[in-house]
Structure 1
Amino acid sequence: MLYKGSCHCGNVKFEAEGQIEGLVSCNCSICQRKGALMWFIPRDNLKLLTPEADQANYTFNKHVINHRFCPKCGIHTYGEGKDPAGNAVAAVNARALENFELESVPVQHYNGREL
């Protein structure tokens, strides 16, 4: 299925393709504060509809995850990194998706504080 998403002001827009079977809620220092519910997909399944230059990026700790957000409204839309096998992945913030009911899929809690 193809989903459309954006930040609050519409400055950052994207499409994400795949089946949402579950979301991840992480309690690390950044995820807990931003309240994102993440849907992990191959990075190739995420298509930016606005220039990458219209986004801001934040990294911390080991600097291996790029946390992308809108510099105008501040909404976190997705993150980018690599899975344990080295494949490029995107963690799409399901709260930024259009016409998606969060309650329709289970949420797995991840203890990111332990990393």
Structure 2
Amino acid sequence: MALMSVLTVPVDELTLDVKDDALTTYTFNSHHVKHHFCKFCGIYTFHKSKVTGGYRLNLGCIDNLDTDNLPFTFFNGANLPSITES
């Protein structure tokens, strides 16, 4: 399960701590948003938001962040209004 951030990180403030060849990119449906995955384990790591231009992160990929204690709400992502598509 990906626990994606609601807020975005500005492009110039995201630092990736990965090997150069560790990530692969996939675009769904309209091919406007590039989704980045780990080539080795398949985890969904982040994508660039169409709305803000910043990055939405999979919080499970952030070192020393205890995601078990973060508040979250489950939702049906397939039925989100297009304005929230990021």
Aligned residues: 78
Q: Larger RCO: Structure 1 or Structure 2 (Cα < 8 Å, ≥ 6 residues apart)?
A: 1
SS of 2:74's equivalent? Answer: strand
Structure 2: gaps spanning 5 or more residues:
81-86
Work out whether residues 22 and 40 of structure 2, in 8 Å CA contact, stay in contact via their aligned partners in 1: no
Q: Is the 8 A contact 2:59 2:67 kept in 1?
A: yes
What one-letter code is carried by the residue in structure 2 that aligns with 1:38? M
Q: Tell me if 1:102 matches 2:67.
A: yes
State the shift of 1:109 in Å: 3.4
Runs of 4+ in 1 over 3 A off after TM superposition: 49-54, 108-111
Instruction: Give me the identity figure in percent.
Output: 33
| Within-5 A mapping of 1:34-113 | 35-39=1-5, 40-41=7-8, 42-50=10-18, 53-83=21-51, 87-113=52-78
Scaled by the length of structure 1, the TM-score of the pair is 0.56
Q: CA deviation at 1:69?
A: 0.9
CA RMSD between the two structures:
2.1
Instruction: Compute the TM-score of the two structures, normalised by the length of structure 2.
Output: 0.70
